[in-house]
Structure 1
Amino acid sequence: MPSTDRRRLPAAERRAQIAGAARAVALRDGLAAVTLRGVAAEAAVAPALVAHYSPSMEALVAETFAGIVAAELDEVRYLAGGDAPDALDALLRTLLGGGREDVTAVWVEAWALGRRNAELAAAVRDQMDAWHVALVELLARGAADGSLTVADPDAVAWHVLGMIDGLNAQALVRWRQDDARVALAARAVEAMVGLPRGAVAAPERATVDAGETP
Structure 2
Amino acid sequence: MPRVKKESADRREDILGATLEAIEDKGIDQVRGADIAKRVGVSAGLVFYHFDNLDNLIISALRSAAAHDMAHLQAVLDGTAGDVTTRLRAVLREYGPTGTAFGWRMWVESWSASLRNPELRGVIRTLDAGWRDVLIRLIDEGTAAGEFHCPDPAGAAWRLTAMLDGLAVQQVVFDEAVTREQVADWVTLTVRRELGI
Which bin holds the TM-score, normalised by the shorter protein?
A: 0.7 to 0.9
| Alignment match of 2:32 (pick from 32, 35, 44) | 35
Matches within 5 A, 1:1-214: 10-80=7-77, 81=80, 82-96=82-96, 98=98, 103-172=103-172, 173=174, 174-195=176-197
The structure that has the greater radius of gyration is 1
Unaligned ranges ≥5, structure 1:
1-7, 196-214
Where does structure 1 differ by over 6 angstroms across 4 or more consecutive aligned residues? none
Q: Distance in 1 between matches of 2:10 and 2:96?
A: 35
Provide, for residues 61-87 of structure 1, a one-character-per-residue CA deviation record: whole Å limited to 9, x for no partner. Answer: 122123223323332333343322112
SS in 2 for 1:58: helix
Provide, for residues 168-197 of structure 1, a one-character-per-residue CA deviation record: whole Å limited to 9, x for no partner. Answer: 1110121111111110111011100011xx
SS in 1 for 2:103: helix
Unaligned ranges ≥5, structure 2:
none
Q: Distance in 2 between matches of 1:143 and 1:11?
A: 48
Q: Distance in 2 between matches of 1:190 and 1:77?
A: 24
The one-letter code of the counterpart of 1:119 is: E
The one-letter code of the counterpart of 1:186 is: T
CA RMSD of aligned residues (A): 2.3
The one-letter code of the counterpart of 1:86 is: T
Q: Distance in 1 between matches of 2:121 and 2:32?
A: 17
Give the Å deviation of 1:99: 6.3
Report the structure, 1 or 2, having the larger helix content.
2
Q: Distance in 1 between matches of 2:104 and 2:50?
A: 28
Matched residues, number: 188
Give the Å deviation of 1:115: 1.6
The one-letter code of the counterpart of 2:132 is: H
Give the Å deviation of 1:141: 0.9
Give the Å deviation of 1:89: 2.0
State the identity as a percent.
25
Q: Distance in 1 between matches of 2:140 and 2:102?
A: 31
Q: Distance in 1 between matches of 2:155 and 2:94?
A: 22
Task: Report the TM-score, using the length of structure 1 for normalisation.
Answer: 0.78
Q: Distance in 1 between matches of 2:72 and 2:13?
A: 21
